[in-house]
Structure 1
Amino acid sequence: MRKIYLVGFMGCGKSMIGRRLSYYLKLPYYDMDSEIVRQQGMSIPEIFEKYGEERFREIETEFLRTFRDERCIIATGGGVAMKEENRKIMRRTGLVFFLDATFHDIYSRIRHDQNRPIVQRSTREELEALYNSRRKSYKESAHINVLTEKRTVRQIVEYIGFQVTRLKGDSPKRS
């Protein structure tokens, strides 16, 4: 099996699902934004401020190209799937799941988040327009679409685990 990528709009649950999936499948978990912060030695807002969004998007592509060659779970940043090159890298090197959450659910989670530069400089309407414009890219990047509305974290993790196992051809290693 290759990498498991979780894609979707900011606040859709990629990090939470990724951590839980890591325990469920007994695989290492990495949060792309956290890894970039560690590598760059500055926060995402600092990277945006110092270098701009375009450079940040280049850093994301470099991450996808060069990150460890191991079986693992990666929660991607919300804008990663916008770039065709990133979609191709993820589909070639792993299994991509789109966590498809409603905008209402997402907005209730992110609206006060100080660590999301795009949220801080955008209105609700602008964020919803961004959400709608990105959905096509998330769908294009994904091998499997995962509807999250009215599903518990456990149900989502078990569903993704089932799909990974089904496509790999064996059962999850649970204790």
Structure 2
Amino acid sequence: MNKIYLVGFMGCGKSAVGRQLSYALRLPFYDMDKEIVKQQGMSIPEIFEKYGEEHFRNLETEFLKNFRDEACIISTGGGAAMRQENREIMRRTGLVFFLDAPFEDIYKRIKNDANRPIAQRSTKKELERLYYYRRKFYKRAAHIRVFTRNRNIRQIVNYIVFQVNRLKGE
């Protein structure tokens, strides 16, 4: 197994879980959004404003195609699993975990986050619709679904570590 991908809606905990998982598994951690920001030299809101969402989605696909060939943990952007090509790349090159968090938990985390252009320009109802629309894509991408309700980061990380070790035969 090469990479471990974390997928799920914005604010579900992919980055926080990925950082802790990195320590637990002793693997490097990369946040796809942060890597794209570094590559492009501009923030995600700036990329959206200057080039549009479709361009940003193309950058996500390029990232998945060309990112380092090493065992690592990658937290993907909330929309990365929308494209079939991205799902195929992730499933082929690693193990994909869907962090399945309840909408209310997510909304509390993202409603005031200026770095989330979609959250900033959408109403709660629109975000909820998007959340339910995207769930099917996260499920299709995932090898393993991780329910996060009433679990802290440590419990989520321990569960993922257990699954990774189980699949490696340890």
**Shorter-chain TM-score range:** over 0.9
Please state how far the C-alpha of 1:168 moved relative to its aligned partner: 1.3
What's 1:105 paired with? 105
CA displacement, residues 74-119 of structure 1 (integer Å, 9 cap, x when unaligned)? 0000000000000000000000000000000000000000010001
The number of residue pairs the alignment matches comes to: 170
> 1: distance between equivalents of 2:154 and 2:56?
32
* Aligned-CA RMSD value: 0.5
Does 1:130 pair with 2:142? no
Give unmatched runs, 5+ long, in structure 1: 171-175
Does 1:62 pair with 2:62? yes
> 1: distance between equivalents of 2:41 and 2:67?
17
Amino acid at match of 1:50: K
Please state how far the C-alpha of 1:169 moved relative to its aligned partner: 1.9
Amino acid at match of 1:112: N
What's 1:80 paired with? 80
Secondary structure at the counterpart of residue 114 of structure 1:
coil
What's 2:12 paired with? 12
Amino acid at match of 2:157: V
Amino acid at match of 1:71: A
> 2: distance between equivalents of 1:41 and 1:78?
20
Secondary structure at the counterpart of residue 98 of structure 1:
strand
Amino acid at match of 2:33: D
What's 2:91 paired with? 91
> 1: distance between equivalents of 2:48 and 2:124?
20
TM-score w.r.t. length of structure 2: 0.99
What's 1:119 paired with? 119
What's 1:156 paired with? 156
Please state how far the C-alpha of 1:43 moved relative to its aligned partner: 0.3
> 2: distance between equivalents of 1:37 and 1:169?
37
> 1: distance between equivalents of 2:134 and 2:148?
17
What's 1:173 paired with? none
Please state how far the C-alpha of 1:152 moved relative to its aligned partner: 1.2
Give unmatched runs, 5+ long, in structure 2: none
Secondary structure at the counterpart of residue 139 of structure 1:
helix
Secondary structure at the counterpart of residue 27 of structure 1:
coil
Please state how far the C-alpha of 1:69 moved relative to its aligned partner: 0.2
> 2: distance between equivalents of 1:27 and 1:52?
33
> 2: distance between equivalents of 1:110 and 1:49?
19
What's 1:52 paired with? 52
**After the TM superposition, which segments of 4 or more aligned residues of structure 1 sit over 3 Å from their partners?**
none
Please state how far the C-alpha of 1:2 moved relative to its aligned partner: 1.1
What's 2:28 paired with? 28
Please state how far the C-alpha of 1:65 moved relative to its aligned partner: 0.1
Please state how far the C-alpha of 1:64 moved relative to its aligned partner: 0.1
Secondary structure at the counterpart of residue 156 of structure 1:
helix
